[in-house]
Structure 1
Amino acid sequence: MQAEDVKAFDRDKAIGYFRRCLEFLPKQYESNDTHRMTLAFYSLSGLDLLGALETEFTQERINNWIDWIYAQQILPDENNPELNERICGFRGSPFSGLPYNPNGVNSDFIIGCRASRLPFDASNLAMTYTALASLLILGDDLSRVDKSAIINAMKFLQKEDGSFTQTYQGMESDMRFVYCACAISYILDDFSGINIDKVVQYIKESQSYDYGIGQGPGEESHGGSTYCAIASLYLLNKLDEGLLSKDKTIFWLISRQESGFQGRANKPPDTCYSFWIGASLMILDSFEFIDYDQNYNFLMETKSPLGGFSKCPGYYPDVMHAYMGVGGLLFMEEPKKLDPALNISFKAKENLLCKSVFKRE
C-alpha cells in the first residue's frame, strides 16, 4: 500500500501527540473551552484506537477522567423545576456552570451538578454524545448516567422539520445534531426522545440533485453532513427507507476522492474527509472502491513531525484532524478496529453491549 518515497505512519509520535492534547492545548484553543468535552474525546478515542489507553495510563488516571466527565452532567435541578425536562445532559466544560471540584463539596457531586445551577447552564447535544462515547472508551458502565433525564430533554431539542438544536433555545439546527441525537439514543438504548419519522423525512429532504446530503433542505452536498445522515439512518435501521438512491449516493461519495478526499465538489482534499467519506462508504459496504494508495499517500503528506495530522499539507496539526487521520488509516489497514457509525472503537462498542447497564434485549 505504501509508496517507497512516503514515510510510514509513526504510531509512537501519534500517541505522544494525543497525550499532550489531554494535558494542555495551544493558546488558539482558548475560544473552544466550552467544547472541551469533544476535544477530550478526540484524544481519548485516538489513544484507544492506537491501543495506548491501558498501556500509557494508570487506572487511577482513567478514573479521574471518568469523574471529570460525570462532573459535567447536568441533572434535574430542584431549584428550577420548570427547566428540569429541557436542560439535562452533559455540557462541554465547567466554563458555563459549576467548576470541577474533585473533592466533591456538593453532596450530589458523584453523579453530576444537581445541587445548584448557574444561569444559562444547559446541556449540549454534541457534548452529551462525546461524553457518553468517552465514558465507553474509558470502560465505564454508564451507571451514573441519568438516562431518562437525557431522553426527555431531547424531546425539547427537536424542531418541527425533524432537525435538532444543540442546546435548549439554541439557534443552530442541522444534520450534525440529528446524528448526535441518534447516537445518544442508540447508546442509551432508547429512541423515545426522537420523532423518527420526522428525522427520516428531514434527511430525505436534505438530499441534493447529486444525491449527496447537505446540512438541511436546499443546502449544498457536504461530506460531513452526508456522513451524519447515513450514520443516523443506520443507527435508526432506516437506511433503505431514508436514502433516495443508495447507488447514486455511493457514486457521489467515491467522486470526492482526488488524492485524499474533499468535502465538496471543486474543493481541495482535507484529512478529515478520509474519515467522513470513508466511514460513509464503510456503512454502505463500498469502501473497497476507493484508491487506497492515493488516500494513504495524502494522509502521509499531512502527517506532522510533531505527531498527529494537519488539515492539509504544510499546516500545523490539530486534535480533530489528528483523530480523523488515524480513523482514515484504520479503515484501510485495520477496519475491524473502528465502528464507522458510532465513531468509537469496536472495543468500546463491545463495552456498551456487554458491560453497560443499558443492555440490549
Structure 2
Amino acid sequence: MSKLPSEFKGKGLPEPDGEVTIEEITPEKLAGMQAQQMAKMKAVADLAKSNLGKFDLPKNARYLHYSLSGLPEPYESLDTNRLTLAHFCIQSLSILKDGRLFDVVKGREVRERMIKWIYNLKVTQKVGETTIEGFCGGTFMGNPFNDVFLPTGTPPSTPTSVHLAMTYCALLTLLTLGDDLSHVNAQDIMEGVKGLQNLDREGDGILYGSFKSHCEGSESDMRFNYCALTIERILWKILHPSTPYNGKDDTYINKTALVEFIKKSKGYDGGLALMPEQESHGGSFFTGLATLEIMGAVDEVFEDRDEPIEWGVMRQIGGMQGRRGKVEDTCYSYWVGGGLNILDGGSNLYLDKEPLHEYILKCQHPMYGGFGKAERSPPDVLHTFYSLSYLSLSGFDGEGLEDGLGEIDVVLGCAKETGDWIRDPDKSYSVLVKEKELRDLQALKAASSK
C-alpha cells in the first residue's frame, strides 16, 4: 500500500485509501486511444466545414457562461488576472445581448454576485503618506490564504497591491453590470494613478510621461497609459460633476508628458510601439490612438493621418497581423481595426471586411463556441472578446445573427451603453442606473402584457 513520505505528514494531505495501481498501456490499447482521438478530431473538422461562415450565437454564449463559472486548467497561470478574464466574458456577453446575464429579472442575482466579487478585490494601500485605492486581479498573491501549508509563524498572503489594468477592468465591468460606483473612492483611485506616472528623466528619459502598472515597480508602456487615462475618464464625472471632460486637465495626469511619450513611440513606418525605440505593434497602435483620442490629441501626434492609416491597412493579409511578417491573429482585428476606426472617425472605410469576417468565423470553435487566435486553435476568452468586438464595430450581421450584435464603445473598450454613461456630462451614474432599471422593468411589463 502506498504511503506518503514523512515530510508531508500533518500538512493537510489525506493518505490514499487502498492499493495504488498503475494500469499497463498495451500497444493495442494505445492504438485504440489514438483512433478515438483521431475520430474526435475528424468530427470537429466535419462540424467546422458544415458551419463555415455561420455565427453560432447559442454556443458562443454558452462558452462565455461556462468560462465565467469556472475556467479550465490552462488558465491557471492567469490566476492573478482573473478580473481581466471576467471583463472579457462580461463585455462579450453584452455584445451578444445575452439575456441570462442582462435580463432585468433573470440575471439580477448573477450580476449582484459578480459585483460583490469584484468589490472583494478592491484594495486600499498606503504609499508614503498617501492613501490610494484600486483593484487587484485575483486573490492569489504568491502564498496561500490558508496557512496550513506554510511554515510555522508565516502569515498568509493578503491582496495589498493596486494594479492599473485591473482597476480599469473593474470600473468598466462594474458599470456594465449596472453598478453606480458608489463604493469606490474616486479621489484615492486617482491619487494612485497620479503616483504611477513616470515624471523624472532618469538616464535618457525614455520612459518620461508613461505609466507603471503598480507602485512596487513594473514595466511602463502604452498599455498602462491607456488604462490610466480611461480610469480618469470614467471617474471624471464623480470628481467634477459640473465640469465637462476636455482631456486637458493636469490635476492627476501630466498630459503634456504623456503626449511626448507617445510621440517618441512613433515608428518610422507610421505605426506605434509599446515604448520608444521598439517595433510598431497592433496592440500599441490601438492603445496609443485611443489614449490620444480621449485627450483630443490625435492630430498633435499624427499631423498626417495617412501614415498610421497606411500602417494599419498593410496589416491585413486576409485576417489581421500584429506586426510586419507575422501570421494572422483574431485579436488584431480589433486592435488594428479599432485604431483605424479612431483615425477615420468611425466610418470603417479602410479594411476589406468580407475576408476579415471570413477569417474570424473560421476561428470560431465549431463544437464549444468561442474564438481562438487562429483557425483550429482552442478558444479563449481574450480572443473571443476581441473577435466579437471587431465583428460589432464593423457591423457584422451575417448568418446566425438575425438580431445583430450589440454595439461597442471602440475607444473605451466596453459596451456602448457603458460608454454613453461615461460620456454623459449631465447625469450621475446613480441616476443613469436607476433610469435603466426603470426602462427595463417597463419593457418587461409591456412584453408580459402582450
Q: Shorter-chain TM-score: which interval?
A: 0.7 to 0.9
User: CA shift at 1:68, angstroms?
Assistant: 1.1
Aligned match of 1:320: 382
- For 2:274, give the aligned amino acid: Q
Inter-CA distance 57–25: structure 2 relative to 1 (3 Å threshold): farther
The runs of 5 or more residues in structure 1 that have no matched partner are 101-116
User: CA shift at 1:350, angstroms?
Assistant: 2.6
The runs of 5 or more residues in structure 2 that have no matched partner are 1-49, 146-155, 200-207, 240-248, 397-404, 433-450
- For 2:121, give the aligned amino acid: Q
User: CA shift at 1:256, angstroms?
Assistant: 0.5
Please point out which of 55, 62, 70 is paired with 1:9.
Answer: 55
Structure 2 contact 136–159 (Cα < 8 Å) conserved: no
For 2:55, what is the secondary structure of its paired residue? coil
For 1:152, what is the secondary structure of its paired residue? helix
For 1:142, what is the secondary structure of its paired residue? coil
Aligned match of 2:267: 208
Partners of 2:296 and 2:134 in 1: CA distance: 24
Partners of 1:358 and 1:249 in 2: CA distance: 40
* Correspondence 1:69-108 to 2 at 5 A: 69-76=118-125, 80=126, 82=128, 84-85=130-131, 87-96=132-141
Aligned match of 1:137: 176
- Residue 245 (structure 2) pairs with residue 188 (structure 1): no
Inter-CA distance 46–81: structure 2 relative to 1 (3 Å threshold): closer
Residue by residue, what CA displacement relative to the aligned partner does 1:14-69 show, whole Å, maximum 9, x if unpaired? 11111011001111111111100000000000001110132495212101111111
Aligned match of 1:49: 95
Aligned match of 1:310: 372
Aligned match of 2:113: 64
Aligned residues: 337
User: CA shift at 1:171, angstroms?
Assistant: 2.2
- For 2:304, give the aligned amino acid: S
Inter-CA distance 357–185: structure 2 relative to 1 (3 Å threshold): farther
Greater shift after overlay, 327-336 or 337-346?
A: 327-336
Aligned match of 1:175: 222
Q: Highest CA radius of gyration, 1 or 2?
A: 2
User: CA shift at 1:119, angstroms?
Assistant: 6.5
Partners of 1:223 and 1:251 in 2: CA distance: 13
Partners of 1:316 and 1:5 in 2: CA distance: 17
For 2:319, what is the secondary structure of its paired residue? coil
- Residue 187 (structure 2) pairs with residue 148 (structure 1): yes
Inter-CA distance 169–81: structure 2 relative to 1 (3 Å threshold): closer
User: CA shift at 1:345, angstroms?
Assistant: 1.2
- For 1:243, give the aligned amino acid: F
Residue by residue, what CA displacement relative to the aligned partner does 1:207-263 show, whole Å, maximum 9, x if unpaired? 010110000011100000010000000111111112253111011111100111100
- Residue 351 (structure 2) pairs with residue 290 (structure 1): yes
Instruction: Calculate percent identity across the aligned residue pairs.
Output: 36
* Correspondence 1:221-240 to 2 at 5 A: 221-240=280-299
Instruction: Give the TM-score normalised by structure 2.
Output: 0.70
- For 2:416, give the aligned amino acid: F
Partners of 1:289 and 1:82 in 2: CA distance: 49
Aligned match of 2:85: 39
Greater shift after overlay, 131-140 or 282-291?
A: 282-291
Greater shift after overlay, 293-302 or 51-60?
A: 51-60
- For 1:276, give the aligned amino acid: W
Aligned match of 1:252: 311
Partners of 1:150 and 1:287 in 2: CA distance: 35
Aligned match of 2:212: 165
* Correspondence 1:332-347 to 2 at 5 A: 332-333=394-395, 337-347=407-417
